[in-house]
């Protein structure tokens, strides 16, 4: 699915809580073999809160669904790679500034295939 992510503007992330699945539209970035996600709402993002508690997530793009484990990627190198990628991929959008705001950088996660 990562080749589709390269071109996708938005995907759904599926998270779970108390046995119930939730889907949220997010931005996603494929950079080489890595897939990065970040909560534009920082710690207040519900999908992010659920992924921290239960890191088994899925990305849904059209009819495709792929499972991942979301791991923190808040180290400086990963944060910079993700920020640069988000800026390049989404620059025409006015929302990109919120996605690279210092208050949300710590929510950067890397998705590892299950």
* pTM of the predicted protein model: 0.93
Give the tens place of pLDDT for each residue, 15-54.
999 999 999 999 999 998 999 999 999 999 999 999 999 9
Q: What is the rounded CA–CA span in Å between residue 68 and residue 114?
A: 5
The total number of structural domains that make up the chain: 1
Please state, as a whole number, how many other Cβ atoms lie within 10 Å of the Cβ of residue 107. Answer: 23
pLDDT above 80 (res 6): no
Q: Is the alpha carbon torsion for 61, 62, 64, 65 positive or negative? A: positive
Q: CATH number of the domain that 39 lies in? A: 2.30.110.10
The whole domain housing 97 covers: 2-113
Q: Which of 107, 111, 99 is nearest to 60 (CA)?
A: 111
């Amino acid at each position: 699915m990562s080749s589709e992510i390269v071109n996708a503007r938005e995907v759904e992330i599926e998270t779970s809580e108390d046995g119930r699945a939730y889907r949220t539209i997010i931005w996603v970035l494929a950079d080489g073999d890595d897939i990065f996600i970040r909560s534009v709402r920082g710690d207040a993002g519900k999908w992010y809160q659920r992924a921290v508690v239960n890191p088994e997530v899925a990305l849904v793009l059209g009819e495709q669904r792929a499972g991942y484990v979301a791991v923190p990627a808040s180290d400086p190198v990963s944060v910079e790679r993700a920020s640069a990628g988000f800026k390049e991929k989404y620059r025409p959008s006015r929302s990109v500034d919120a996605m690279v705001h210092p208050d949300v950088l710590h929510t950067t996660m890397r998705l590892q295939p299950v």
